[in-house]
């Protein structure tokens, strides 16, 4: 069965600038499970080198993933049933593997695919019936100022009402000028601006930057300072110059007690949830429940998964009454992605019955 596990290296159409350098490709491991009646279910184990906590190198990752799958497949029959994520056997199993969020994520997609009535529909909702769409933000990747400006113009021309800029790669004055240009042409009611700093600023510098962003009616900033500075992050959240969203801060926080302690201590305005990094859908649901108990809002973001993982993340999100724009793409970044039932129109994510029409 493990011979159905293969590496699929996703190749970017254009180099993707991130806080961990420029990506030209990224690995995902695809696992195909064939049922006794010949039906094939595909799942994905995606990682981002330098960010995914379980990934050191490909040889290490594959060895541990094969061990995980060998154990998981022996228990598969216990989980192919409704509400399996609440079962004692499931919770005990993922507690054993909680430090490997991409493993849990991929296994959840497999289990849901096996019990799906209309695969690849994993959750039947008005979204998968084509009755609802999901608002999303248009993402502007780190690049030169000229290329970022071009990306901004393209996103707005395509109908996005929420634009998110990745910042911290070029001079702050150049990034600030781009945000000022948006505001010169569009009010906060017309275009919502988010920024994602990926921990680029010092705590002292962040205070100054937040004041400049506030003057431009920026909606929120993700991870203004590096993770692991709880007191400084709590201070910035308490001052609430611009609402703060935690992202990398959540990675590696795996138990209910630690998640509750983190959010209680920092009290952010938002948290950003990436299932393949934050404990799969089981962990993401727990983060959502804790956030709700503390009055913290959230949105979901994909983390460079292929269409297999992205399909699942979007469908999971559609189970909630989403009002904030989500951070979903369609995997159009890649030259060699798989077919998807997702399409974007006017800043809204839609489910399409025929993936060839995307």
Q: Which residue, of 88, 115, 142, is where some domain finishes? A: 115
Please report, rounded to a whole number, the percentage of residues in the chain having pLDDT higher than 90: 89
If asked whether residues 213 and 320 sit together in one domain, one would say yes
If asked whether residues 56 and 144 sit together in one domain, one would say no
Catalytic residue among 155, 161, 164, 166: 166
If asked whether residues 57 and 139 sit together in one domain, one would say no
**Domain of residue 262, residue span:** 134-357
If asked whether residues 222 and 325 sit together in one domain, one would say yes
If asked whether residues 179 and 32 sit together in one domain, one would say no
pLDDT at res. 233: 98
- Number of domains composing the chain: 2
If asked whether residues 142 and 106 sit together in one domain, one would say no
Catalytic residue among 129, 274, 285, 357: 274
Three-state SS sequence of the chain: CHHHEEEEEEEEEEEEEECCEEEEEEEEEEEEEECCCCCEEEEEEECCCCCCCCCCCHHHHHHHHHHHHHHHHHCHHHHCCCCHHHCHHHHHHHHHCCCCHHHHHHHHHHHHHHHCCECCECCCCCCCCCCCCEEECEEECECCHHHHHHHHHHHHHCCCCEEEEECCCCCHHHHHHHHHHHHHHCCCCCCEEEEECCCECCHHHHHHHHHHHHHCCCCEEECCECCCCHHHHHHHHHHCCCCEEECHHHCCCCCHHHHHHHHHHHCCCEEEECCCCCCHHHHHHHHHHHHHHCCCEEEEECCCCCHHHHHHHHHHHCCCCCCCCEECCCCCCECCCCCCCEEEECCEEEECCCHHHC
If asked whether residues 62 and 162 sit together in one domain, one would say no
Is 120 domain-assigned? no
pLDDT at res. 15: 82
| Lowest-confidence region among 19-28, 31-40, 204-213, 243-252 | 19-28
Catalytic residue status for 166? yes
If asked whether residues 34 and 86 sit together in one domain, one would say yes
Mean pLDDT, the chain, whole residue set: 94
pLDDT at res. 357: 45
Statement: residue 354 has pLDDT above 80: no
Report the CATH number at residue 104: 3.30.390.10
Is 123 domain-assigned? no
Is 128 domain-assigned? no
Statement: residue 21 has pLDDT above 80: no
Statement: residue 355 has pLDDT above 60: no
If asked whether residues 109 and 249 sit together in one domain, one would say no
pLDDT at res. 19: 61
Confidence of residue 3 (pLDDT cuts 50, 70, 90): confident
For the stretch 292-309, pLDDT in tens is: 999 999 999 999 999 999
If asked whether residues 102 and 222 sit together in one domain, one would say no
Total-model pTM:
0.95
If asked whether residues 78 and 158 sit together in one domain, one would say no
Confidence of residue 281 (pLDDT cuts 50, 70, 90): very high
Report the CATH number at residue 281: 3.20.20.120
pLDDT at res. 4: 93
């Amino acid at each position: 069965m493990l011979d159905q596990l293969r590496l699929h290296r996703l190749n970017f159409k254009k180099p993707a600038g991130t806080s961990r350098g420029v990506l030209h490709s990224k690995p995902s491991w695809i696992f195909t499970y064939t049922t006794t009646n010949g039906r094939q279910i595909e799942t994905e184990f995606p990682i981002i080198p330098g960010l995914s906590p379980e990934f050191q190198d490909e040889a290490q990752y594959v060895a541990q993933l094969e061990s995980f799958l060998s154990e998981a497949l022996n228990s598969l029959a216990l989980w192919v049933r409704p509400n399996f994520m609440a079962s004692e056997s499931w919770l005990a199993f993922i507690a054993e593997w909680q430090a490997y969020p991409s493993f849990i994520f991929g296994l959840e997609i497999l289990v849901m695919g096996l019990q799906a009535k209309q695969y690849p529909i994993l959750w039947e909702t008005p979204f998968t019936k084509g009755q609802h769409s999901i608002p999303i933000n248009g993402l502007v990747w780190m690049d030169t100022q000229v290329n970022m400006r071009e990306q901004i113009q393209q996103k707005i021309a395509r109908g996005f009402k929420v634009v998110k800029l990745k910042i911290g790669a070029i001079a702050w004055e150049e990034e600030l000028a781009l945000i000022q240009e948006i505001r010169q042409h569009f009010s906060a009611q017309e275009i919502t601006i988010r920024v994602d700093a990926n921990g680029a600023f010092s705590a002292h510098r962040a205070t100054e930057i937040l004041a400049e962003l506030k003057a431009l009616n920026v909606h929120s900033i993700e991870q203004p300072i590096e993770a692991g500075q709880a007191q400084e992050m709590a201070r910035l959240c308490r001052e609430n110059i611009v609402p703060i969203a935690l992202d990398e801060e959540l990675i590696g926080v795996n138990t209910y007690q630690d998640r509750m302690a983190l959010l209680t201590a920092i009290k952010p305005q938002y948290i950003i949830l990436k299932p393949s990094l934050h404990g799969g859908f089981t962990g993401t649901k727990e983060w959502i429940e804790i956030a709700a108990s503390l009055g913290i809002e959230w949105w979901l973001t994909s983390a460079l998964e292929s269409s297999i993982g992205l399909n699942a993340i979007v469908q999971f999100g559609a189970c909630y009454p989403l009002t904030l724009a989500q951070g979903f793409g369609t995997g159009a970044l890649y030259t060699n992605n798989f077919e998807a039932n997702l399409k974007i129109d006017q800043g809204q994510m839609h489910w399409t019955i025929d993936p060839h029409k995307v």
